[in-house]
Amino acid sequence: MKASVKHLLGHGLFASHLDAVLLRNAAVIVTCHRVCESDRSDSLSIDTATFERHCRFYQRHFHVVPLPELVHRITQGESVDRHLAITFDDGYRDNFENARPVLEKLSLPATFFIVTEWMGSDHVPWWDESRGVRHPWMNWDEVRALHQAGFEIGAHTRRHVDLGKVPLAVARDEVVGARLELERRLRARVESFAYPYGGRKHVTEATRDLIKSAGFRCCCSSFGGINRAGTDPFCLKRVPVSPWHASPYLFGFEIATGRSVLAPQHQCSEISEATGS
């Protein structure tokens, strides 16, 4: 189905409040990577104007809450009707420079999942290197400033390893080490975790147990889908936002009609293999 058709259907769906029926007991967690100007072939970046359109759409049609509040509701079996949490993966500097001002202008909460070894470094991940681009990381002052501004900081391992592949001892170092480093830098507890790559094959029972025993309260994948009251907080689903979603109504249509998992653009394994998300 064409993007323009999905946009129109999404507009009609939300204008008629059909979303209230389709998204009953549905909690949505969105994942962004970069908020900056880029070309359409860059599936990890959306421009600032598009990001703001999405945020205004979330604000109008959802209850936007901090991820820990959403996890609390899910765990306690409380209503999650059209609740939505905004998250960012990896720790790109544009999160601080471009996304933060929009979030603050609209008073929206968000969680930033950080790859600890990359903050303040000039490391170029393979998915950017393969495209011949370099996007800077936040430094620790910027990560701390986000935390002090009230945003949640979560862990995304030390070096963005594939937890589905590395030996368990390495996985433990990546998971526990990231948490300890964040807590040392922020002088605060860190309780949310997001899997690097986030596809089904990157999430194993052994690493999930490891993340639980490391003291985290939730972990997030990113292969699409919605969450409901009673969902295991260590099996949270997230929907990646990409340039394909130039219209937030297209995005909303895919979520409300259960297409966020089925659409190839949202298949995390494909996204991760193509882009390294």
- Chain residues binding Zn ion by CB under 5 A are 89-90, 196
Tokens 């997001």 belong to residue: 194
> Shortest distance, CB of residue 122 to Zn ion, whole angstroms?
18
> In the complex with Zn ion, which residue's Cβ is closer, 19 or 89?
89
> Shortest distance, CB of residue 198 to Zn ion, whole angstroms?
7
Torsion of CA 157, 159, 165, 171, to 10 degrees: -50
> Shortest distance, CB of residue 92 to Zn ion, whole angstroms?
10
Q: Are 38 and 45 in contact (CB under 8 A)?
A: yes
> In the complex with Zn ion, which residue's Cβ is closer, 9 or 155?
155
Q: Which residues contact 14 (CB under 8 A, 6 or more apart)?
A: 61, 249, 252, 256
> Shortest distance, CB of residue 24 to Zn ion, whole angstroms?
31
> Shortest distance, CB of residue 65 to Zn ion, whole angstroms?
23
- Could you tell me the end-to-end alpha-carbon distance of the chain, in angstroms, rounded to an integer? 25
> Which residue has its beta carbon closest to Zn ion?
89
> In the complex with Zn ion, which residue's Cβ is closer, 69 or 162?
162
> In the complex with Zn ion, which residue's Cβ is closer, 157 or 247?
157
Amino acid at 6: K
> In the complex with Zn ion, which residue's Cβ is closer, 10 or 224?
224
> In the complex with Zn ion, which residue's Cβ is closer, 83 or 156?
156
> Shortest distance, CB of residue 254 to Zn ion, whole angstroms?
21
> Shortest distance, CB of residue 277 to Zn ion, whole angstroms?
6
Residue 160 corresponds to which tokens in the numbers above? 């963005």
| Rounded Cα–Cα distance for residues 264 and 48 (Å) | 24
> In the complex with Zn ion, which residue's Cβ is closer, 114 or 214?
114
Q: With 0-12 CB in 10 A as exposed, 13-18 as middle and 19+ as buried, what is 190?
A: buried
